Structure 1
């Protein structure tokens, strides 16, 4: 009979597939070979916490930033195509077409600038400060010390290195 630890790991894997990968209950059930009923039960326990985490993940700042970057990339591709078309119109000597394409390019430039400004705002608004990060990690490490002192002391090097890397990243 599988151990309690084995089921804990299955549940953790199901959690990650549901929250981070956006998989359905049926897909998770098939992937980890657990009944759909079990997966559904896990999803809905603790006041449907997994659903709340999944929803928060979908609208996370990183996702917002990624979506904005994707929009900017699409607009940049459109701009490159317009520039190619302008070069063709110049080569053909079609000054009316050149003028119209340049107007479209200018409109596109304004759109890219607006999306870029929105991306900066999202990044600024959702940036975690180093002080907040250190506070949260200190709480986690303190909770670990209470939960399992041996584990806490075994991870002191990790804690120090992790906070050093976070300080470099969040400055």
Structure 2
């Protein structure tokens, strides 16, 4: 019990911040093997992985891909505008053909990126549907959590009854 604060701190550093055993050990003041043992005994890696792969996290990572594709498309469009200006001012026929070929390739790249963006956006949409929680599922989990709280600390459970009702009413009013 003497190391409960260190253990709780280590858990936060491991699960929430993704620190290594060694980093945690030096920060908390325990042996890295102790941190490793705590992590294994309490399934910290499983919890960290679950948090990292939550629906929200997957959607955010997928959205980053869409954003980078959009940035790339904007960069290419800027190049197309510059090439078009060069083409409009060019008189040499061979240089014009080369510029037209380059413009064609850039436009083809834009079309390819547009297709990729559409597919990734569809993925975001599907992830949003997959990770949506129904009201009945939410209530079931809420009941499990508060039942566990009642068993662990009944007086604290009783103090949360108003919160439970208010929270449930708020959640029920949302569109599920």
TM-score by length of 1: 0.84
Q: 1:163 to 1:31 in 2, by over 3 A?
A: farther
Matched, 1:69 2:63: yes
Deviations 1:30-71 (A, max 9, x none): 22223323212211215xx12222232333322221221111
What does residue 15 of structure 1 align with? 11
1:89 corresponds, among 83, 87, 91, to: 83
Q: Which residue of 2 is the match for residue 107 of structure 1?
A: 112
Which 5+ residue runs of structure 2 have no aligned equivalent? 88-98
Partner of 2:28: 32
> Which of these two proteins has the greater Rg computed from alpha carbons?
2
1:1-171 correspondence runs (5 A): 4=1, 7-46=3-42, 49-93=43-87, 94-167=99-172, 171=176
Compare relative contact order (CA 8 Å, sep 6+) and give the higher one, 1 or 2.
Answer: 2
Q: Distance in 2 between matches of 1:106 and 1:142?
A: 54
Equivalenced residues, count:
165
- TM-score by length of structure 2 reads 0.82
Say what the alpha-carbon RMSD is for the aligned residues.
Answer: 2.1
Could you say what secondary structure the match of 2:18 adopts?
A: coil
Q: Which runs of 4+ in 1 moved over 6 A?
A: none
